[in-house]
Chain A
Amino acid sequence: GDSVTQMEGPVTLSEEAFLTINCTYTATGYPSLFWYVQYPGEGLQLLLKATKADDKGSNKGFEATYRKETTSFHLEKGSVQVSDSAVYFCALSPGTGRRALTFGSGTRLQVQP
């Protein structure tokens, strides 16, 4: 079945550091890929998405590129802020059939001033 694997956290960075959170997936067909973010005490929010190979999703300075050849969707940001501290989830939706998302286990990011 479909699965998503994320790097384990927590990831601790200083403000203005470069961020990479790795995500790889296993799926049949042509899934859509997503990054969701969960701030403390809140539900998940969509951060960005990509629906086909080589698409780049971007939002709030975060970027991720859909790489079909490496089955990856790594999240990057050039300069993190304290306000980016949260848990980040990679997810996929299958190309056909059921629309429910399959989530990775989440990566906690802690940004220190």
Chain B
Amino acid sequence: NAGVTQTPKFRILKIGQSMTLQCTQDMNHNYMYWYRQDPGMGLKLIYYSVGAGITDKGEVPNGYNVSRSTTEDFPLRLELAAPSQTSVYFCASSYRGGQGAGGANVLTFGAGSRLTVL
């Protein structure tokens, strides 16, 4: 049972380069999210999706793009990398159900992708 899989685990980019962080889940979850984690700052929501074809901005969307063509995949695109985007990125997913053990409020996280922009 893979859960949420993120690739790559580590990446170093030069300023201005572009890249895509991949995220796949095999739990048939409707909701998917991208967060970034900066030291001492907790997690900030970048983008989220409530289903295939539907995405919306979170707190810190500038400099990022997402797409959701399938239920399983939710890639995060950085078009022009900047040092301010150096962070650890977490993808997460949740079920559309209610407030029970498998409900929409219970997130399953990937292991994270550490990105450094130099």
Contacts and interface: CB of A to CB of B under 8 A. Distances in A.
B12 interface: no
A103 B33 CA distance: 13
Q: Interface size for chain B: under 10, 10 to 19, 20 to 34, or 35 or more residues?
A: 20 to 34
Contact of B48 (A45, A46, A98, A105): A98
Nearest to A108: B40
B72 to A, nearest CB: 18
Contact of B31 (A34, A42, A89, A99): A99
A51 B105 CA distance: 10
Given A99-B94, A100-B33, A46 B41 contact: no
A41 B92 CA distance: 16
Contact of A100 (B41, B58, B90, B111): B58
A43, A89, A93 interface centre (most CB from chain B within 10 Å): A43
A43 B43 contact: no
Contacts of A100: 33, 45, 48, 58
Interface of A: 4, 32, 34, 36, 41-46, 49, 51, 89, 93, 98-106
